[in-house]
Amino acid sequence: MLRNNASRAFLLLFAAFATSRVAMAAEPGVRFDLKQEISRFDLGANVRREIDGPYERIIGAKGTFLIDRITGATLAVPNAPIAAPKPPAPREPTQRSESPSPINYPGPLTEKAEEHNAAVREYLLRIGIPEAEVAGMHVTTTMAGTGPVEQGVQPSRSVLLWYTTHLERSLGGVPVEGSYAYAALDRERRVISEGLYWPAIPAGVVERAQALKKALASPAERTEFLSKVRRAQPEVGEVAEGTVTILHTSSGYHGEFQAQAVYSVVVRSRSGGKALILRFDDAGSPVRLGDSVESGIDSIKQQ
C-alpha cells in the first residue's frame, strides 16, 4: 500500500513538473542573450576584453565580439580581410593588370541559400533561440567583383562571398518588429559574422496584439478603427492597408524598454521622398516609442 501511494505521489509530482515545463515553454516573449562562449565565432589568438561605458568588447586577432550590457544585444564582426601580396609590376609600362590582388575572404558554407538557411536555423536554435518564436527566414548575400567602377556591378565578374540568414520573430501569430538574429557561416560551419537582439516581450502586449488582429478581421470593426486612424493622421488617406505587429525599442536604445501592439501603415511620399511609416495603438491613436526620431514629413526613422 505504501509503495502504491509513493508511486501515485511520484506520478503526480512528475505530471506537475511536466506541466510547469510546458507552461514555461509556452510563455511568450522570452529573452535570449548570446554569450560569446557558446558562439561559433572564432576570435583567434591574443584575446582581450575592454569595457567602454555600456559596451564590452572581446577582441581577438580574427575579429571582435561586441556586447551591449544594457540591452543585451550582441554583434560579432571579423577583421578586415588581408590582401595577398601584389604580383610584380609588369616590365612594359604599357601593360596593365585588370584584376586586383586576391583577398583572403572565407569561403561560403554552400552555394545554395536554402542549405545555408537550414544550417543557420539549426545553429541559432541549438544555442537557445526559442523555436516557437521563429516565424520564418530570409537571406542576404555578400558579393565581390572586379571591373571598372564606371561600369557598375557586373554579375559575370562577381562571386559569392557568403550568405547571411536572418530569423524572423513572431509571438502568438503576430510579427515582432525590432528583434533580430542572424548569422553567416563559412565552409567549416564557423561564424563569419552574427548579430542578435531578442528582448523579453510582456504577455499583455502579445494579448493586445492578438485582440487587435481579431477585431480587424471584422469588417464593421475594421471600418470604425480605420476611420479613427484617418482622423488622427490625415496622411493615411483612404487606403490604409496595414498590418498588426508588436513594436519594441531598438537594440541601441538605452532608455526605458518599451513594447506595444501597433497597427503599422506605410504611406508613400507625395513629394518623392522617403516613405512614412505610421503606427497606431488599438484605439487608433498615433504611437511613437522613446527611440523614434522624426525627420521631416517624409520619414520616421527608428534608431
Per-residue pLDDT tens over the stretch 110-120: 889 999 999 99
* pLDDT band per the 50, 70, 90 thresholds, residue 143: confident
Residue 240 burial (CB count, 10 A): 18
SS3 category, 294: strand
How far is Cα 282 from Cα 28, in angstroms, rounded to an integer? 20
CB 176 within 8 A of CB 97: no
Are the C-beta atoms of residues 191 and 183 closer than 8 Å to each other? Answer: yes
Decide: 285 and 293 in contact? Cβ < 8 Å: no
Contact 84, 101 (CB under 8 A): yes
Q: Model confidence over 246-259: pLDDT tens digits?
A: 999 999 999 999 99
pLDDT at 150: 66
Per the rule left: phi > 0, alpha: psi between -120 and 50, beta: everything else, 284 is: left
CA dist 157 and 44 (Å) reads 32
Q: Which residues pair with 180 in a beta bridge?
A: 197
Q: Which three cell numbers stand for residue 239?
A: 487606403
Measured distance CA(8)–CA(130) in Å, rounded? 33
Is pLDDT of 21 > 70?
no
Higher pLDDT, residue 10 or 269: 269
The number of beta carbons lying within 10 Å of the beta carbon of residue 4 is 8
CA geometry: angle 184, 188, 192, nearest 5 deg: 30
Average pLDDT along the chain: 81
Neighbouring CB atoms inside 10 A of 286's CB total 12
**Is pLDDT above 60 for 171?**
yes
The reported pTM is: 0.78
What is the distance between the alpha carbons of residues 249 and 201, in angstroms, rounded to a whole number?
Answer: 11
Nearest CA among 171, 255, 177, 253 for reference residue 208: 171
pLDDT at position 216 over 50: yes
Task: Please tell me which residue, 68 or 268, carries the higher pLDDT value.
Answer: 68
- Count how many Cα atoms sit within 13 Å of the Cα of residue 271 in the half-sphere of its side chain: 8
pLDDT at residue 273 in the model? 66
219-232 helix and 203-216 helix, angle to the nearest 10 degrees: 110
- CA gap 229, 217 in Å, rounded: 16
- What is the DSSP secondary-structure string of 253-273? --S---EEEEEEEEE--TTSS
Domain ranges of the chain: 31-82+104-145+157-197, 203-302
Distance CA 252, CA 68 (A): 8
Backbone CA torsion sign across 78, 85, 89, 97: negative
Angle at 42 between CA 40 and CA 44, to 5 degrees: 160
pLDDT at 127 over 60: yes
Instruction: Give the N- to C-terminal CA distance of the chain in Å, as an integer.
Output: 67
pLDDT at 94: 47
Q: Does 145 score more than 90 pLDDT?
A: no
Element (H, E) at 84: none
What is the C-alpha separation between 110 and 116, in angstroms, rounded? Answer: 6
